[in-house]
Amino acid sequence: MSERVTPTRTAAFEARLKKRYAAERRFKAIGLSAIVFSVAVLLFLLATMTINGIGGFQRAELRLDVDFPQMGLSLPPEELTVIEAQQRLSGQGLREVVQFSAEQTMGAEGAAQLNGEAWRLVAEQIHANPGILQREASFWLPTTEDLASAYAGDGQLELQPLAQDLAERGFLEDNFDVGFLTRADATDPQLVGIWGALKGSMLTMIVTLLLAFPIGVLAALYLEEYAPKNRWTDFIEVSINNLAAVPSIIFGLLGMAVFLTIFPSMRSAPLIGGMTLALMTMPVIVISGRNAIKAVPPSIRDGALAVGASPVQVVFHHVLPLALPGILTGTIIGMARALGETAPLLLIGMRAFVATPPSSFTDNATVLPMQIFLWSDEIDRGFVERTSAAIIVLLIFLLLMNGLAIYLRNRFEKKW
Amino acid sequence: MSPVLPLLLAIGLGLAGWLVARARAWTFKRAAPHGRIAALPSYHAWYAALWIVVPLVIWFLVWNGIQGQLVLNYVLASPEAQALPEFGLRRDAMLIEARNIANGIDAQVMNDGAYALAEPFRQAQSRYGLIGLAVSVIIGGAGAAWAFLRLTPDFAARTKVERLVLGALLLASLVAILTTFGILVTLVYETILFFGKVSPIDFLFGLQWNPDPMSSGAVDGDRYGAIPLFWGTLFIGAIIAMIVAIPLGMMSAIYLTQYAHPKLRAWVKPALEVLAGVPTVVYGYFAALTIAPFIRDLAVSMGASNASSESALAAGLVMGVMIIPFVSSMADDSIAAVPQAMRDGSLAMGATTNETIRRVLVPAALPGIVGGVMLAISRAIGETMIVVMAASTAANLSANPLESMTTVTVQIVALLTGEGSFDHPATLAAFALGFVLFMVTLALNFIALRVVKRFREAYE
Amino acid sequence: MVMHDTAQSPLAEQAQSNEAAENVEPTAVKMRARDVSVFYGDKQAINGVDIDVYQEFVTAFIGPSGCGKSTFLRALNRMNDTIPSAKVTGTIELDGEDIYSSGMDVVQLRARVGMVFQKPNPFPKSIYENIAYGPKIHGLAEGKGELDAIVEKSLRRAGLWDEVKDRLQDSGTALSGGQQQRLCIARAIAVDPEVILMDEPCSALDPIATAKIEELIDDLRGNYAIVIVTHSMQQAARVSQRTAFFHLGNLVEYGHTSDIFTNPTQQRTQDYITGRYG
Ligand SMILES: Nc1ncnc2c1ncn2[C@@H]1O[C@H](COP(=O)(O)OP(=O)(O)OP(=O)(O)O)[C@@H](O)[C@H]1O
Ligand SMILES: [Mg+2]
């Protein structure tokens, strides 16, 4: 038989093949660059935030040396609160003492750049350790915002020589600012902290969790295990699926119109914020809960029913424990989303300036992402770094939560 | 009545009922022939506890609602109240201050008259507090008595408890409907109020958006034309953002599922998930701080003099980046849902990988991908923080991405966080905008979810 | 060695009549496998197989489930490349050229060695587009007219033309299972391959559809070398001239179909075809 020449063995075919392979390489390169770009954006974002944010955990501080025995300050031996101690010391002229000592060591120009609230910190330290009144002591105290930005290389140009001079003489440096993690909001970037917002976030999240988790799990159980197949069930399903995809700001509108009308005095309270976010989180928990429950094989239900368990017992003794890791994963993801949410809270008024950390669910409060938003509006350069630092804190929390969710998912992912 | 005390009371009584009922069921059980009774002791316990706690909680909620009014009535009826001004802010302020004094909250007191009123407040509160407590105890006792009378060895406590559990489950799932319903009613109600002041035609088709929350008197319908907002929303969310997100998301998904080494995939997929988990306020900050100035400078250096630092481009680009992981994971799922046999069939014909992807896999996955893109668009147009931080509040009907534009969500925030009063058309307009947004995203989600579901079923 | 019962079983009769009708000696070797082993990771699925696939012959692979028939079949057009863990050793030649050498192009190889799968897998496109897919990607047709001609010719050869000529634009997935499988065969022959590999092409079909496909295979034999994996011994006996019996990754016996079914040299073959296991 003669060799049959098929069209796929011709020279023309091979010539085309070269082009097709070139197209293949191009396509692959485009795919790779799409990924590289996406990851690069992520890295760029994280890098920008980190570089800016590191500065946010520090603040420019001036060294103040005080020769206390000379100054004639004293604290009575009885127990005082910090506020009382501050009042007493202020009455004895602590402010003047601080001003005077600063002028002595740094000169009037330098002393003028000591932060107006610096004396309070001195009073706090005296309160913590009254012994220092008997000796010479040295403190690192925040500068004014002006000097801080001059030291960072911008801001008022005429302050820059002073900053340089003070730094050279060892009076000015950037120190790690522990207080950033323990203070609340303030108007001066040198004095702000995120504890207030963090605590507000925690209180809000507690409310959200307490409402969304039980309701979400119960609803998921109902829909997956008991719901009859009828129009009502369909309607509930459609509602939940849509709620999971409704823009978050709509929940803000609902919260504003409903919750704030019922509790008008609780604008900006974690209770209302938590309730609003719970409405948003609940569908997420229902959907992941249903998937987790669906993944429990029917054989386990049959087995339990076969030994005479009632349907409720089957679900609460057998199905729910097996589905729990999946439900928890979904809950954590939903909570992480709620933790990063800002828009609905903006509408229900959690954008107040809150200078003292909230101590109950009905106090005025703000949350971490809201604090970021509020600070981002400030023009002071000092706030740029503080904002980035707050973002780092928020991202760390979210990373931990998502990491936990991924861990749970991998740890408990069972193939039946 | 502070909320802690009744809660403790309910929990305490419930716990006591639980323990006693269980103990009693055990004595039934020991006495019964073969030690069998109709329900396990723990069900007796739950039956009693529920009969105590549920009525109590309902009573607390009701009492909480009416107690404040009862106290107020008592105070107003007292002789000290005759000194109160008839109406107005001062009257309200004095009442609130008097209550604060009575409760020992040291807030500022501006009206000295409040001190006189504090005493009646104190009386009223202790009086109604006692009444409330007494009724609570009676209700708790009655619930307990009822439960205990019915608990006998052959009482089917389990069925009763289970019926209640089922009721609770049903109630929980109704919350979703209630929420949807609440959203609809709120938005529709406020929107109707708004359309009472501004005609829907002006609103939906007007070209000028310039509301003035401070204005009083006649409403100028010409200021409420929302077309520029709709355009800005679409331009930023559905055009610029999608131009970024669709190709990048699709190509990432394709590369990850079809080409990437498993090790690369194991690293990149979580990285994309992280990108998806970054809160939008962070993206917004990133857009406002880094991208927007960069784009403005770039545009100016290339000769565009009117480039805005709040350009639609900056907001849209960052929003696109935010959506990439979403599109990528939807495309990933859709392509993974196409059976392996399709891919094998194509490869066995001698198709190269990219021919297989472009001519077989993507067309087969198209419904899923289209559904995913619709969900992505719905997300983008409802996204708030990025545009609030990076886009402008000035309405601008333009196709130039370097100009500033505003969106529906930006305006909702701007109108509702301003100083306007609650029934001002500017405030109501925010709800009307919310209504439009809700309906559009609802339609997108609804269609998208159906398309995706149908698509998944086709390959099952 | 075990002698087979001299009384002819219907199976053996069929095999002989089939072969007797055809030329007994092959004209040329189309594919030659020598000492071929296939591994999935550490697990060996095929162990040192030698086999010749002849031009214009139908070769059947039989053997119990999991013995490696599909694995070996997929090695013949390098579909195993798509499984990351799979590794092939030994040599497989197509017209004397090693298909695993670096000079061999996979795309071209697969265009020359077509494949039909166990479950019909038409693309979710129109019937027309399903057939036109191969010619299009390989650039085998200039213009619409030529493409139409290829589509019609392929459908005719697959015996499907009369059934679908009025609805070429309908989706390929809307056809019946048997039609879908013939569509897949038509799709494979549209690029004019030299070898067609079929992995249990009839296992998802009813007897009537099966009969049509078998008829088709017999028709096609004149132009191609065909390899078919089957679980039906009747089918192997009906359509093939050569049969290879695999067991646990080994090629136990390979020879004339009639010999395998009437006169197997190996006990294991004997046991298998008489249904003692499998
Ligand atoms: N992708 C794979 N990865 C790992 N092992 C595989 C893979 N595919 C097949 N195997 C294993 O290789 C061996 C041969 O499988 P193969 O599919 O070739 O058998 P077969 O003879 O075609 O069986 P059947 O008649 O059931 O189709 C089996 O043990 C199987 O488990
Ligand atoms: Mg097989």
pLDDT at B230: 94
pLDDT at A1: 41
Alpha-carbon distance B254 to nearest alpha carbon in chain C (angstroms): 16
Q: A131-135, B188-192, C274-278 — which one is most confidently predicted on average?
A: B188-192
Closest CA to B72 of B112, B125, B3: B125
Q: Has residue C22 got a pLDDT over 60?
A: no
**Token pair for residue A150?**
């001059």
Q: CA-to-CA distance for B326 and B275, rounded, in angstroms?
A: 9
Alpha helices in B151-217 (DSSP H): 157-197, 200-205
**Token pair for residue B208?**
């000028």
pLDDT at C11: 66
What is the interface pTM, i.e. ipTM, of the complex?
0.89
Whether residue C15 contacts residue C232, with contact meaning beta carbons closer than 8 Å, is answered with: no
Q: Has residue A416 got a pLDDT over 60?
A: no
Give the nearest ligand 1 atom to C85 CA.
3
CA distances from A55 to A152, A380, A390, B118, B284 (A): 10, 14, 11, 52, 20
Across A406-414, average pLDDT: 76
pLDDT bucket at A233, cuts 50 / 70 / 90: confident
- Chain B contacts in chain C segment 105-124 (CB below 8 A): 106-112, 114-115, 117, 119, 121-124
pLDDT bucket at A171, cuts 50 / 70 / 90: confident
pLDDT bucket at B376, cuts 50 / 70 / 90: very high
Question: Ligand 1 test: best mutation among C70, C230, C251, most atoms within 8 Å of CB?
Answer: C70
pLDDT bucket at C17, cuts 50 / 70 / 90: low
Q: Which of A6, A17, A20 sits opposite C192 (nearest CB)?
A: A6
User: Quick one: B2 exposed, middle or buried, by C-beta within 10 A (0-12, 13-18, 19+)?
Assistant: exposed
Q: CA-to-CA distance for A13 and A122, rounded, in angstroms?
A: 86
Instruction: Return the percentage of chain A with pLDDT > 70, whole number.
Output: 97
Closest CA to A200 of A346, A401, A363, A341: A363
pLDDT at C52: 94
Instruction: Return the percentage of chain C with pLDDT > 70, whole number.
Output: 90
| C140, A10, B350, B259: CA torsion to nearest 10 | -110
Pair type for strands C195-199 and C225-229: parallel
* Average pLDDT of the residues of chain B: 85
Question: Using the beta-carbon criterion (under 8 Å), do C55 and A1 form an inter-chain contact?
Answer: yes
Question: Using the beta-carbon criterion (under 8 Å), do B169 and A32 form an inter-chain contact?
Answer: no
Q: Has residue B297 got a pLDDT over 60?
A: yes
* Average pLDDT of the residues of chain C: 87
Q: Is the beta carbon of C66 within 6 A of some atom in ligand 1?
A: yes
User: Quick one: B179 exposed, middle or buried, by C-beta within 10 A (0-12, 13-18, 19+)?
Assistant: buried
Question: How do residues B102-119 score in pLDDT, each as one tens digit?
Answer: 776 655 566 677 777 778
Which of left, alpha, beta for A134 (phi over 0: left; psi -120 to 50: alpha)? Answer: alpha
Q: CA-to-CA distance for C141 and C146, rounded, in angstroms?
A: 5
Backbone angles phi, psi at A137, to 5 degrees: -135, 160
Across C217-222, average pLDDT: 87
> B249 or B4: whose pLDDT is higher?
B249
> B39 or A16: whose pLDDT is higher?
A16
Could you please report the per-residue DSSP string of B424-454? Answer: SHHHHHHHHHHHHHHHHHHHHHHHHHHHHHH
Across A282-307, average pLDDT: 88
Q: Has residue A281 got a pLDDT over 90?
A: yes
Task: Give just the sign of the alpha carbon dihedral C117, C119, C125, C131.
Answer: positive
Question: What are chain A's partners, defined as 3 or more CB pairs within 8 angstroms?
Answer: B, C
Whether residue A236 contacts residue B432, with contact meaning beta carbons closer than 8 Å, is answered with: no
Across A312-337, average pLDDT: 89
Number of H helices, E strands in chain B: 18, 0
pLDDT at C15: 61
Least confident of A306-315, B51-60, B444-453, C66-75: A306-315
Whether residue C125 contacts residue C180, with contact meaning beta carbons closer than 8 Å, is answered with: no
pLDDT at B1: 42
Question: How do residues C78-136 score in pLDDT, each as one tens digit?
Answer: 999 888 899 999 999 999 999 999 888 899 999 999 999 988 999 988 999 999 999 99
pLDDT at B108: 56
pLDDT bucket at B53, cuts 50 / 70 / 90: confident
Whether residue A201 contacts residue A273, with contact meaning beta carbons closer than 8 Å, is answered with: no
For residue A35, the tally of other CB atoms under 10 A from its CB is 25
Distance of CA C192 from the midpoint of ligand 1 (Å): 29
Q: Has residue C145 got a pLDDT over 80?
A: yes
> C114 or B45: whose pLDDT is higher?
C114
pLDDT at B99: 74
- Supply the Cα-derived Rg of chain B in whole angstroms: 32
pLDDT at A2: 42
Question: How do residues A20-31 score in pLDDT, each as one tens digit?
Answer: 999 999 999 999
DSSP state of C5: P
pLDDT at C228: 95
Question: How do residues A295-313 score in pLDDT, each as one tens digit?
Answer: 888 888 888 888 878 778 8
pLDDT at A414: 59
Distance of CA C23 from the midpoint of ligand 2 (Å): 30
Question: How do residues C27-60 score in pLDDT, each as one tens digit?
Answer: 788 999 999 999 999 999 999 999 999 998 999 9
> C206 or B314: whose pLDDT is higher?
B314
Q: CA-to-CA distance for C66 and C83, rounded, in angstroms?
A: 17
**Token pair for residue B266?**
């194991």
Which residue has 């750049």 as its token pair? A113
Backbone angles phi, psi at A162, to 5 degrees: -60, -45
pLDDT at C4: 47
Whether residue A34 contacts residue B321, with contact meaning beta carbons closer than 8 Å, is answered with: no
Question: How do residues B230-242 score in pLDDT, each as one tens digit?
Answer: 999 999 999 999 9
Contacts of B264 (CB under 8 A, 6+ apart): B256
Contacts of B36 (CB under 8 A, 6+ apart): B29
Across A95-124, average pLDDT: 82
pLDDT at C270: 87
Q: Has residue A379 got a pLDDT over 90?
A: no
Which of left, alpha, beta for C248 (phi over 0: left; psi -120 to 50: alpha)? Answer: left
pLDDT bucket at A3, cuts 50 / 70 / 90: low
Across A336-347, average pLDDT: 93
The β-bridge partners of C246 are C251
pLDDT bucket at C1, cuts 50 / 70 / 90: very low
Task: Give just the sign of the alpha carbon dihedral B239, B244, B245, B248.
Answer: positive
Question: What are chain B's partners, defined as 3 or more CB pairs within 8 angstroms?
Answer: A, C
Q: CA-to-CA distance for A153 and A82, rounded, in angstroms?
A: 36
Across B88-105, average pLDDT: 71
**Token pair for residue A19?**
């082009």
Instruction: Return the percentage of chain B with pLDDT > 90, whole number.
Output: 34
pLDDT bucket at C141, cuts 50 / 70 / 90: confident
Across B253-268, average pLDDT: 89
pLDDT at C154: 93
Least confident of A158-162, A207-211, A319-323, C58-62: A158-162
Question: What are chain C's partners, defined as 3 or more CB pairs within 8 angstroms?
Answer: A, B
Q: Is the beta carbon of C65 within 6 A of some atom in ligand 1?
A: yes
Q: Has residue A245 got a pLDDT over 70?
A: yes
- Prediction pTM value: 0.84
Q: Which chain C residues have a beta carbon less than 8 Å from that of A17?
A: 105, 107-108
User: Quick one: A305 exposed, middle or buried, by C-beta within 10 A (0-12, 13-18, 19+)?
Assistant: middle
Question: How do residues A60-93 score in pLDDT, each as one tens digit?
Answer: 888 888 887 877 777 777 777 777 778 888 888 8
Please indicate if any CB of chain A lies within 8 Å of the CB of B248: yes
> B31 or C217: whose pLDDT is higher?
C217
Q: Which chain B residues have a beta carbon less than 8 Å from that of C125?
A: 363
> C179 or B9: whose pLDDT is higher?
C179
Across A271-294, average pLDDT: 93
Pair type for strands A172-176 and C242-247: unpaired
Distance of CA C69 from the midpoint of ligand 2 (Å): 6
User: Quick one: A79 exposed, middle or buried, by C-beta within 10 A (0-12, 13-18, 19+)?
Assistant: exposed
pLDDT at C5: 47
Across B202-221, average pLDDT: 81
Q: Is the beta carbon of C70 within 6 A of some atom in ligand 1?
A: yes
pLDDT bucket at B246, cuts 50 / 70 / 90: very high
Instruction: Return the percentage of chain A with pLDDT > 90, whole number.
Output: 31
- Interface mutation vs chain B, best among C76, C81, C82, C203, most B CBs within 10 Å: C82
pLDDT at C242: 93
- Interface mutation vs chain B, best among C85, C105, C123, C199, most B CBs within 10 Å: C123
Q: Has residue B70 got a pLDDT over 90?
A: no
pLDDT at C3: 44
Across A263-286, average pLDDT: 89
Across A336-348, average pLDDT: 93
Residue type, C234: Q
Q: B8-22, B127-141, B433-447 — which one is most confidently predicted on average?
A: B433-447
